[in-house]
Amino acid sequence: MAGNMMPEDVKRLQWFINACRSSPEILHLPQLSFFKEYLLSLGATIPTPEASFKAPSSTKEEPMQEPTPEPEPEEEEESDVELDNQGVIEFEGEAPPEMGDTSKVPTEEDMDAAEEKRSEAMMGMSDGDFQKAVDCFTQAIKLNPGSAMLYAKRANALLKQKRVKAVIRDCDEALKFNPDSAAAYKYRGRAHRLLGNWLEAAKDLRLACKLDFDEQTDEWLKEVQPNATKLEEHNRKYERQRKDKEMREKRERVHKAQEEARKAQAEQEKSQGSSFFMGGGGPDDMAGIGNLFKDPEILAAMQDPEVAAAFQDVSSNPSNIFKYQSNPKVASVINKLVSKLGGGSCGGMPGGMGGFPNMDSFPGGPPSQSGGDDLD
């Protein structure tokens, strides 16, 4: 009987064996149970459907996976920065002096009286009686609560008493009335230095020097500069680390999304491939597959690069079938293929969305491309 086999029968058998090698799950089809039993009788080992199933191979090159970045060291805390805290004092929480009523509109008499109290306060400063100076400035502020100069001068007197929180409050008030008060920035910067607020101190003292340079302000700035520089460099490093971390997390999210997309595509290809072999079309499925390559019109059409490219495009993504509705040459071939695979009742191109087999999943391609004679 072997001598009576026609060449096309041998080629068809060779193609079928190649298909079994590529996708051994087809041996579990009910209509091939006789062949499976024969193989088992010869001592062959047949993989289970779960172990043997593989998604159809694709000619598309898989994108290179981005390597998982190495974990960066944890960010340093500010406490890790070595600072010279000599001269920093502890705030004892003394009660601040009274503030003025900002809604008060001073009269000329109020203005004159406030000036007299300011003069008394300056005399107290000269005598080293800082409490008297604070008291007199407080009375002057009550008389003229909108004076930035009076708040700044009282802040200086409070600074002599190291009442640093009160100093900062008076300077804040002065800057409300005069944002360009160099004295307010100067005394507030010094108060921050005494509290160990190095960055705030450097910022205020730099601005004070810019607005109205004096030697004492410059000396105070040089005193805080080393610690402030360390903290500024640390903060820049911390900010770079934070941005790097955000970038890593973004790359990880993109990588995860790409992985999920690849898995979804693999599942889709798996579904398309399995529908070709295990679509449940009945005992005539394998006969229909063989008939697909016996049609001379299809074999001839597949030699056309345009038709072959369109078939590959639709095989990888059935929804692409709509792109070829206006191409009669491609549409007629694809409709014929759909009809051969059981989709003829759908009618026309849109009916062909039942899924096409990916012919590249068979080693050597379809019989017409294996280098032998065309099937009859």
Chain centroid, CA 228 distance in Å? 33
| Residue 163 sits in the same domain as residue 257 | yes
Task: Identify whether 67 is part of a domain.
Answer: no
Task: Identify whether 226 is part of a domain.
Answer: yes
| Residue 89 sits in the same domain as residue 152 | yes
Read off the pTM.
Answer: 0.48
User: What's the pLDDT score for residue 362?
Assistant: 36
Q: Which of 202, 228, 262 is at the close of a domain?
A: 262
The two tokens of residue 20 are 């079994």
| Residue 28 sits in the same domain as residue 158 | no
Task: Identify whether 215 is part of a domain.
Answer: yes
User: What's the pLDDT score for residue 142?
Assistant: 95
Task: Identify whether 268 is part of a domain.
Answer: no
| Residue 250 sits in the same domain as residue 322 | no
The two tokens of residue 8 are 């096309």
| Residue 119 sits in the same domain as residue 36 | no
| Residue 344 sits in the same domain as residue 306 | yes
The two tokens of residue 140 are 């002057």
Q: Which domain holds residue 30?
A: 14-57
Task: Identify whether 117 is part of a domain.
Answer: yes
| Residue 146 sits in the same domain as residue 228 | yes
Q: Which of 197, 228, 262 is at the close of a domain?
A: 262
| Residue 105 sits in the same domain as residue 205 | yes
- Is the model more confident about 4 or about 111? 111
User: What's the pLDDT score for residue 212?
Assistant: 93
Q: What's the rounded Cα separation, in Å, for the pair 114 and 136?
A: 9
| 65 CB neighbour count, 10 Å cutoff | 10
Lowest mean pLDDT among 48-62, 157-171, 194-208: 48-62
| Residue 256 sits in the same domain as residue 309 | no
| Residue 249 sits in the same domain as residue 331 | no
Give the residue among 141, 134, 180 at the shortest CA–CA distance from 155: 134
| Residue 123 sits in the same domain as residue 245 | yes
The two tokens of residue 123 are 């005399």
Lowest mean pLDDT among 96-100, 185-189, 294-298: 294-298
The tally of domains found in the chain comes to: 3
* DSSP character at residue 83: -
Contact in structure between 185 and 211 (CB atoms under 8 Å): yes
User: What's the pLDDT score for residue 191?
Assistant: 94
Phi then psi for residue 285, to 5 deg, are -60, -50
| Residue 257 sits in the same domain as residue 293 | no
CATH number of the domain enclosing 226 = 1.25.40.10
